[in-house]
Amino acid sequence: MPAITSGKVLVSGANGFIAVWVVRSLLEQGYSVRGTVRSADKGKHLKEVFASYGEKFEVVEVPDITVEGAFDEAVKGVDAIEHTASPFHFKAEDPAELLEPAVKGTVGILESARKHGTSVKRVIITSSVAAVLSVPSTPQVFTEADWNDQAVKEVEEKGREASNAAKYRASKTLAERAAWDFHSKHKAEVAWDVVALNPPMVFGPIIHEVSSPHAQNTSSQTMYDVFTKEGSTVGSGSWVDVRDIALAHVLGLQKEEAGGERIIISAGAFSFQDLLDAASSSSKHLKGTPGAGKDAVHQIRFNADKSVRLLELKYHTMAETVADTLEDWEKKGW
């Protein structure tokens, strides 16, 4: 597929934490953007944020992404699709709450692109390292060759009794697999390829509409808790700045060689304490036990070499991300 360096891009779930940065990065690089939201009121803030782009930014309503043909109109006339809309939380009782919109939303947008996306050249799926990792018994470095079949098996076997993490991880694994399967089945009929981006926990300043700290998206809430809630500093994972995963969504269109690839987008492994240690010493927030995360042995790490090789992505440092996020909270009066 040729690199897509101009034209119109459809971004699903455009009012989400990551998606709004994807929209901003696309507009800044000259693309036009059509964003989908579930209801008109969710588009108002977006129109205000991107008012200076005039007609280059439009919002359309897709009330239910699980309905057949939901994206049929939205895909018409776009050159590429960035599919980010999917639930990300750890509160589902019934796994179907996560699995249905994740899988049906993904297959649905691809089916709409197959039938009506005559100018589409590439579809980028916002997947996750949740679709890559499995919980190892000894420390492991995961690559794009790995798939999280463990979470899918747990959900198949335990249903509602599966862990909340497994329910979310299964939704991302099944959705991403469905995307690759769909493309492999229909590649002779479509003029587009697929890219999957697999980020870990995403942190950074918030430019979508959030009424209070407790209304934040899941990963931002995790970071906020670490800084503000006693007892939330024990934990670890891998992370990436929201501006880097957003830029990866643009570079994924521009780099021809990204077609057909899964790409882990990760700045590295960290302990929650590292976030606190990366803050300026004048920060008014919790300090935890400085240095306590430094020598942690991380059970799960990700190899993100492909993101540097194929996308030439440069990552923010944790100090930059933390400083910009704390400044954003300050501005919001949090």
The residues of the shown chain that bind ligand NDP, judged by CB under 6 A, are: 13, 15-19, 38, 42, 65, 84-88, 101, 126, 128, 172, 199, 201-202, 217, 219
Shortest reach from residue 74's CB to ligand NDP, in Å: 13
Shortest reach from residue 237's CB to ligand NDP, in Å: 9
Minimum CB distance to ligand NDP smaller for 215 or for 308: 215
3-class DSSP assignment, residue 210: coil
Q: Which DSSP state fits 10?
A: E
Tokens of 43: 């588009």
Minimum CB distance to ligand NDP smaller for 3 or for 44: 44
Minimum CB distance to ligand NDP smaller for 87 or for 259: 87
Shortest reach from residue 42's CB to ligand NDP, in Å: 6
- Report the candidate in 254, 248, 253, 249 with the shortest Cα–Cα distance to residue 267: 248
Minimum CB distance to ligand NDP smaller for 213 or for 292: 213
For 75-199, where are the E strands, in sequence order?
A: 80-83, 122-126, 140-142, 193-198
Shortest reach from residue 282's CB to ligand NDP, in Å: 27
Question: In the complex, which residue's CB is closest to ligand NDP?
Answer: 16
- Output the CA angle 92-232-16, nearest 5 degrees: 50
Residues 144, 166: Cα–Cα separation, whole Å? 19
Shortest reach from residue 32's CB to ligand NDP, in Å: 19
- Report the candidate in 163, 177, 157, 187 with the shortest Cα–Cα distance to residue 102: 177
Minimum CB distance to ligand NDP smaller for 17 or for 315: 17
Decide if 165 contacts 90 (C-beta within 8 A): yes
3-class DSSP assignment, residue 209: coil
3-class DSSP assignment, residue 219: helix
Shortest reach from residue 204's CB to ligand NDP, in Å: 10
Count of residues for the chain? 334
Minimum CB distance to ligand NDP smaller for 101 or for 117: 101
